[in-house]
Structure 1
Amino acid sequence: MKFIKSILIAILMVVISSCKDEFIETEPQGTILEDNYYQSEEQMFRGLIAAYDPLQWTFSQGAWSSSVMLGEIRSDNANAGGDPSDGDQPGWQAIDDFLNTSLTLESEAFWKKGWWGVYRANLIINNDDFSSDAVEEYKAEAKFLRAFYHFDMFRIFGPVPVLDHVVLENEYRELKRASLNEVFEFITTDLEEAIPLLPDQKYTGSLAGRVSKTTAQALLGKVYLYWADMSNDDPALFDQAATHLNSVITSGQYQLLDDYHQLFAFGVKNTEESVFEIQHTNAVPADWGGQEFIDGNMITQLCGIRGLCSDHPEYNAGWGFLLPTESLYSHFLNDDEYRRTASIVSVEELEAQGCNIDMGEQNTSDFDGYWQIKYANYKDYTAPNGGDINLQKDPNQPVIRYADVLLMYAEALERGNGSAGEAMEYVDMVRERAAGPGDNSGDFRSTQQLMADEGMNLLEAIWYERRAEFACEGDRWFDIVRSDRVQNSLFTAQKAGNLDPGQIFLPIPQRDIDNTGGSLTEYPSADLFN
C-alpha cells in the first residue's frame, strides 16, 4: 500500500527597491492545495490512505513510537535492554523504570503519531464537497481510524481531548482532557456509525489491511471491554462488549491458525486469524532522515538478539531491546512450552543450536537471559529497492487476532451476564491451539482442568491465557492497567519504588502543555474517571 508523502509549498517573494520596501503578492505555485484537493473519488481515496499512514510509524520525533514496545517494556513482561551502558535510548529506560517525564521524547512521538492520524481522518470525514457510495465507505473507514487513534491515545495518555474536526491554532490553545466517559462515548459512536457502511467481508490480497465491518465490530467489542473494566466492572458494558465480539465470531470469517509458531514466521502476513493488522513494506527505500516516511517495521532490528553469533542459521543480530523478564518466562506452565518457544528464546536454547552469545554486549541490569522472537530479525529480510536494510524489514503488526476476540468474548461473558460454561468453551479453543498443531492439539488441559490443577478461578484462567497468548505483542501493560492490576509486586524492587499510582499513563508532552497554557494537564486527574 502506497502512502501519500507530499509537501505543498506557497512562496511569498519580497522585493526591496532602492526607495522603499514593496511586498509583491504572488499566487501559490502549487495548484493542488488542501482547500481544493478532495474533489473526486480518487482524491478522497488518497486522503484515506494518508489517514492509514500513521499506523505504520514506529519512529517519530527522533524516538521510537511502537505500541508493542510500550505495552511490553512498561509492564512486567520485558525490560528496555540495549547496550551495556544502560544509557542506550534513555527515554525507553525511563519508561521502563517509571522515571519518564513530560520532556521524554517518546511522549512527543506517541502524541504526534496519534493526532496526525486523527487530523488526516477528520479531513475525510468532514469533507462535504464530494459524495458517492464509495466516498461514504471511505468516510466510514476514516471513522474507524479516528476511533482507533483516540482509543490508542487513551490507552497511552489516559483521557485525552476529543477531536471531531480539524483544530486550528487558536482552538488548540484551549484544548482540555475529556472524561473517560466522553472519550468512550465518542469512540463507540464513531464505530457504531461506521459499521453499517463498511463491507461485510474482510479485505484480502492487495487490499489486506483495510478495515471491514467485522474489524470495526472487534474494535468496538474491545473498547466496550475497556470501558466496562474502568467503570467499576459495569456488567451492562461487558454485555455490550460480548454482543459485538459475538458478531465477529458468528460471521464465520476467521479461524485460529493451526500452528501457533506460524503466526510470526518469516513472510507470514494477513492470515485467516488476522482481524486487524498494520501493514509494513520493504519496497520503499528508507534512511534515518525519513522517520515518518519509513514503511518498514523498525522494531525488528531494534528488538533483535544482541550479541548473536554471525553464523546463526535463521537470525541476524539486533540491538537487544524489549528483553523478556524471568517473570514472563516463568509464567508459561510446563504444558505451555509450544507457545513459549514461539515467543521467547533463552541463552541456553541458542547455545544448544551451536550459537554462542557475546555476553559482554548485554545490558546486564535488564538482561534476564531471554530475547523475544515474535519479531525475529530474520536473515531473509531484504531491501529490494535499496535503502538501509535495518529500517526496511517488513513484518506486519497484528493488532487484533481472532484469539483476542475469543478471549475477550470469554472475559465479557464471565464479567457480564453471560454463561461461565460458554466462556470456558472459547478459552478452550485458544488452549487447544496452544498445545501444538495436528494431533498434538488434542493433548491439552481444558480450562476447567487448568482451574482445578492451578487453583485459578475463571477470570484468572483467562488472564493467564492473555499473558501467554499475546506475550511480546504489546497488550500486557494495557491489560493490567484497564483491570487495575498494576501493583508493586509485579516489578523488581527498584522499579516498584518508582511506581506512582497517579502517573500510570504517559504524560502529555511539555511542549503541548505549554502551547495550551496549561489547559492540557500532564497527567489525568482522578475526577476524569468518574
Structure 2
Amino acid sequence: MKKLYIPLIAIAAASCVASCSDDFLEKLPQGNYVDGTFYVSDKALESATSVLYNRPWFEYNGEGALCISSLANECFDAWNFPQFNTLQVTALDSHLSNIWRSFYAVVTMSNSVIEACETKATADCTEEGIHRAIGEARLMRAAAYFYALRLWGPVILFEHNQEIVDNPVRPLNKEEDVFRFIIRDLEYAAEYLPESWIKGRATCWAAKALLAKVYLCRSGWNGGNRDEADLEKCKELCEDVCTKSG
C-alpha cells in the first residue's frame, strides 16, 4: 500500500503544475470587490463617496474640534484643554496632530475617489454619476483644506497620493495658492453636484454656500481693507443660495 502513495502524490502535484497557466495570478477574486470590479455603476460610485461623510473626519469631530472651539473658553478648567485657552498649545499637542491627520485622511480618501472615477469607472457608469462622485470628493477635499488653511495658514497641497508616497517630504504651499486650490474644487462641485439629491448628501447649494464663505474669508485675509471683488462674489453666491435653494 505504501508504494501507491508516491505515484498518487506525484500525479496530484503534476496536475497542480499543469493547471497553473500564465494568467493564474491575474484572475479577479470571485465574490470580493477589488478596484477592477467595484466601479461598475452609479450606485457603486455613491458607495465609494459615502465614507467621505464620516470616518476620515472622526479625529477632528471626535475631540479636536472641541479644543479649538468656543467650548474651550466656556468650559475652561484645569482639565478641559487649558493649553488652548491659555495659548500654551504647541505643535506637539496630540489634539492638533489628530486634527492634521484627520484633514489629510479626508484629502487622501478624496484623491483616491477622484482617481478611481477618472481611471477605473466602467462604461456602465454614467457621465453624470462620475461627475457627481468627483464633485462630492472635491467638495470634501476643499472643506478639509479650508479648515486646515484657517488653522495653519500654509499647508501641503497634493492631488495624487502616489506623489506623496514617492516623495513624502514636501514644502508648504503659500496661502494664496491654497485659496485658489479650494476655490477651484468648490467651483467644480457647484457645477456638477445636483440641486436636489439623496437626503444627507451634498448638493450644489452646499458647495456654493461653502464657496461664499471662502470668498468672505479671503476678502480680509491679509488685514486692512477687504477685497471688494471677493465680497461681491460672496454676495452673488449667497443670493443664489438664499433665493433658489429652497
Q: Does 1:123 align with 2:112?
A: yes
Higher helix share: 2
Q: Secondary structure at the match of 1:113?
A: helix
Q: Which residue of 2 aligns with 1:226?
A: 217
Higher relative CO (Cα under 8 Å, sequence separation at least 6) belongs to 1
* Equivalent residue, structure 2, for 1:44: 45
Q: Which of 103, 116, 131 pairs up with 1:114?
A: 103
* Separation in structure 2 between the aligned mates of residue 159 and residue 35 of structure 1, nearest angstrom: 37
Deviations 1:265-308 (A, max 9, x none): xxxxxxxxxxxxxxxxxxxxxxxxxxxxxxxxxxxxxxxxxxxx
Q: Which residue of 2 aligns with 1:145?
A: 140
Q: Residue type of the partner of 1:182? A: D
CA contact (8 A) 2:107 2:144 kept: yes
1:252 CA drift (Å): 5.0
Select 1:215's aligned residue among 206, 215, 219: 206
Residues 33, 93 of structure 1: CA spacing in aligned structure 2 closer, same or farther, 3 A cutoff?
farther
CA distance in 1, matches of 2:98, 2:35: 24
Instruction: Name the counterpart of 2:229.
Output: 236
How far apart, in 1, do the equivalents of 2:100 and 2:176 lie? 21
Equivalent in the alignment of 2:83: 94
Provide the rounded CA distance (Å) in 2 between the counterparts of 1:146 and 1:116: 10
C-alpha distance in structure 1 between counterparts of 2:195 and 2:229, whole Å: 27
- TM-superposed CA distance for 1:234, in Å, is 1.2
Which has a greater percent of strand? 1
Distance in 1, Cα, partners of 2:56 & 2:244: 26
Gaps (5+ residues) in structure 2?
1-24
Deviation at 1:137, TM superposition (A): 0.9
Residue ranges of structure 1 left out of the alignment (5+ in a row) = 1-26, 254-530
Contact persistence 2:156–2:173 (CA under 8 A): yes
Partner of 2:5: none
What stretches of structure 1 move > 6 A for 4+ residues in a row?
27-30
Q: Compared with structure 1, are the counterparts of its residues 56 and 170 closer, same or farther at alpha carbon in structure 2 (3 Å cutoff)?
A: closer
User: What amino acid is the match of 1:44?
Assistant: L
How far the C-alpha of 1:135 sits from its partner, in A, is: 2.3
1:308-330 CA distances to partner (integer Å, 9 max, x unpaired)? xxxxxxxxxxxxxxxxxxxxxxx
Mapping for residues 509-528 of structure 1, pairs under 5 Å: none
Q: Do the aligned partners of residues 122 and 34 (structure 1) sit closer, same or farther apart at CA in structure 2, a change above 3 Å counting?
A: same
1:135-214 matched pairs, under 5 angstroms: 135-167=130-162, 168-173=164-169, 175-201=170-196, 203=197, 207-214=198-205
Measure how far apart 1:134 and its partner are: 1.6
Give 1:196 shift: 1.7
After superposition, what is the alpha-carbon deviation per residue over 1:114-144, rounded to whole angstroms, capped at 9, x for unaligned? 1111111111112222142222211111111
Aligned partners of 2:165 and 2:113: how far apart in 1? 20
SS of the residue aligned with 1:102? coil
- 1:44 CA displacement: 2.1
So what's the TM-score if we normalise by structure 1?
0.37
Which entry has the higher C-alpha Rg, 1 or 2?
Answer: 2
Cα offset, 1:42, TM superposition: 3.2
Aligned to 2:93: 104
TM-score, normalization: structure 2? Answer: 0.75
Q: Structure 1 residues 179 and 43 mapped into 2: Cα distance closer, same or farther (>3 Å)? A: same
